[in-house]
Amino acid sequence: MGEHGKELAIYIHLPFCVRKCLYCDFISGPYGEDVRKSYVNKLLWEIDSFFDEYREENIVITSIFFGGGTPSIIPPEEIAKILCKLKEHADFIEPEITIEVNPGTGEPSLFEKYHEIGINRISIGLQSTSDEELKTLGRIHTYEQFLNTLDSVKAAGFTNISADVMYAVPGQNYKSFERTLRKVADLGLNHISAYSLIVEEGTPFYDMDLDLPSEDVERRMYRGVSRILAEYGLKQYEISNYAKPGYECRHNIAYWTGKEYAGFGIAAASLIENLRFTNTKSMDDYLAVSDYETLKKLRTDVENLSREDCMSEAVILGLRMNQGVSDKAFYEKFGQHLSDVYPKEILKHKLEGLLKEAEDGSISLTAKGRDLSNYVMADFI
């Protein structure tokens, strides 16, 4: 319980894209306007149904994230309806409200409208400053379109702006990636997310013969990101995220610190009172459903987290962040210290130089540990 009530982070999935990028395995697609309208109406219904059942007193929404897909395809009036619906059920105490934007979509006036309806953070999916790489990835936009979008976003009054950059793209080498990164960092953004391309089964990339950088080059790129972005004042605060002080994404930090979150729309995940679940991934099922009990039956990955699961998650998610896992917060939640629950694991990774333990008992990954984060985290499962 926070100072003003029960805190909740909200995710709204808007699974609409102009066309699929060649590497994308997100639940999204190029649906028509009719489906988009019905979907937003169903979202409003789902929000009502959720809050009717989740009868906590004084719910405070701390962050809202409109993700996709390409949320910028949805008219701002529809986004405003969703925000109003959330306000009917919970208090807003200066929440961070983010919307993802694809540079190939949206007139300049779109961002003024976003600003008017209370959105205060824009996350732009750039991926690369090379038009050739953007084409290889199947993106619908050019670098110039990104720059125009950024100008419009700034002109509308936004200061909290993030861009996504991708590394290990086919045909990329260390030098070309560094060029992209420096070009983006030079734009004075306050937040950058840098992810490596993962070739997922079921995507067109999976069946293509791709000229991918070697694992060594990919690791060099990953290490290069934190060093280069630090030169521009963007400090790494999580495995893939870099920000100027005060611009860390509050919504994602809520996930990594084990706060409760409610996701609405297809494939949206929630964690409510130790129950974790994902909504149906089927657009047809989502639109056809008319009572909440049926929607609940269509959930997947439903898991009632045990106390051990919650402790393990607290460590694994916490280690994603540079600040690591606070022993004080862990003790407040579970009544035990990290060193009592995981003595062997902590010692093993400290001896390997992958984990640091502060005087107050908090643990975090070393720079070397961040390179091998999956290996370290696997021991806390």
Cβ nearer to ligand SF4, comparing 17 with 314: 17
Cβ nearer to ligand SF4, comparing 126 with 354: 126
Give me the least distance between CB of 67 and ligand SF4, in Å please: 9
CA 302 – CA 276 distance, rounded (Å): 6
As to burial, measured by CB atoms within 10 angstroms (0-12 exposed, 13-18 middle, 19+ buried), residue 299 is: middle
Q: 354-357 contacts: CB < 8 A, separation 24 or more?
A: 356/324
Nearest to 198 by CA among 65, 377, 21: 21
| Backbone φ, ψ for residue 286 (5° rounding) | -60, -45
Cβ nearer to ligand SF4, comparing 70 with 152: 70
Segments of 49-89 assigned E as strands: 59-68
Q: How far is residue 106 from each of residues 75, 100, 123, 138, measured CA to CA in Å?
A: 9, 12, 14, 19
Interaction of residue 20 with ligand SF4, rule CB under 6 A: yes
From the list 9, 69, 225, 326, which residue makes contact with ligand SF4 (rule: CB under 6 A)? 69
From the list 11, 28, 162, 248, which residue makes contact with ligand SF4 (rule: CB under 6 A)? 28
Interaction of residue 283 with ligand SF4, rule CB under 6 A: no
Q: Which residues pair with 63 in a beta bridge?
A: 9, 96
Cβ nearer to ligand SF4, comparing 68 with 76: 68
Task: Please say whether the beta carbons of 274 and 284 come within 8 A.
Answer: no
From the list 9, 21, 295, 365, which residue makes contact with ligand SF4 (rule: CB under 6 A)? 21
Interaction of residue 14 with ligand SF4, rule CB under 6 A: no
Q: How would DSSP label each residue in 340-368?
A: HHSHHHHHHHHHTTSEEE-TTS-EEE-HH
Q: Which two tokens stand for residue 95?
A: 């929440």
Residue showing tokens 């629950």: 341
Cβ nearer to ligand SF4, comparing 51 with 143: 143
Q: Which two tokens stand for residue 244?
A: 């100027």
Among the residue ranges 24-32, 46-54, 72-80, 245-253, the one whose residues contact ligand SF4 (CB under 6 A): 24-32
Cβ nearer to ligand SF4, comparing 69 with 263: 69
Among the residue ranges 67-75, 204-212, 312-320, 353-361, the one whose residues contact ligand SF4 (CB under 6 A): 67-75
Give me the least distance between CB of 132 and ligand SF4, in Å please: 17
Q: Which residues pair with 163 in a beta bridge?
A: 124, 192
Q: How far is residue 167 from each of residues 178, 206, 332, 367, measured CA to CA in Å?
A: 9, 17, 39, 19
Give me the least distance between CB of 20 and ligand SF4, in Å please: 5
Give me the least distance between CB of 102 and ligand SF4, in Å please: 5
Give me the least distance between CB of 166 and ligand SF4, in Å please: 10
Among the residue ranges 64-72, 107-115, 286-294, 344-352, the one whose residues contact ligand SF4 (CB under 6 A): 64-72
Cβ nearer to ligand SF4, comparing 20 with 219: 20
Among the residue ranges 20-28, 50-58, 254-262, 285-293, the one whose residues contact ligand SF4 (CB under 6 A): 20-28
Contacts of 286 (CB under 8 A, 6+ apart): 39, 42, 265, 266, 279, 280, 295, 298
Of 99-158, which residues contact ligand SF4 (CB under 6 A)? 102, 125
Cβ nearer to ligand SF4, comparing 28 with 152: 28
Cβ nearer to ligand SF4, comparing 26 with 174: 26
Consecutive H or E run containing 256: helix 250-256
Contacting residues toward ligand SF4, per CB under 6 A: 17, 20-21, 24, 26, 28, 68-70, 102, 125
